[in-house]
Amino acid sequence: MISIGNTVPDVTCEAYLPDGRIEAVSLAHYRGKWLVLFFWPLDFTFVCPTEIRAYSDLSHDFDVSGAVLLGASVDSAHAHRAWVRQGLGAVRFPMLGDVSRALAQGFGVLAESGVAVRATFIINPEGRVVSVAANDLNVGRSARETLRLLHALQSGELTACEWQPGEAFVAAA
């Protein structure tokens, strides 16, 4: 798995966009911006929609925080579109289709089963990974915690456990 401090691989994928279009999206396009990239195993599953809904519900908060939110699975952008239209409902961030598995392999999150593990990466404007979290396939993650981590990392300060934006920072001795 890609580690803290590693540079993000320059991978291009087709993406299903919130406006319904499908187009190529390159990770290099987001240099100079904070980026939150999260992987889910497969479309049309049980835990994945709970995470995607949670991230979509907070997409405005990520945007206001100056971060681009991207989601990805090994399904195609066309499968993402079908899932949105057949029950998932509107999603407010680009959904990357990684049928070649180049993105999942580049981030080191491809499981032996051929799907991506539940992994979340926060990437700074220089294109370096500053946070990595991964779960087994059966355990969902917290979009709110990802947003809290983004704010803490953007602050550049020492932040305590359970720190929330607006709270005091830890004073260095």
Sign of the Cα pseudo-torsion (95, 101, 103, 107, in order) = positive
Residue with tokens 């999603």: 91
DSSP codes of every residue in 49-86: HHHHHHHHHTHHHHHHTTEEEEEEESS-HHHHHHHIII
The per-type count for the chain, helices as H runs and strands as E runs, is: 5, 7
Residues present in the chain in total: 173
- SS3 label, residue 35: strand
Q: How far is CA 92 from the centre of its chain?
A: 13
Q: Which residues form the catalytic set?
A: 48
- CA pair distance 160, 32, nearest whole angstrom: 27
Q: Give CA angle at 43 (58, 151), nearest 5°.
A: 25
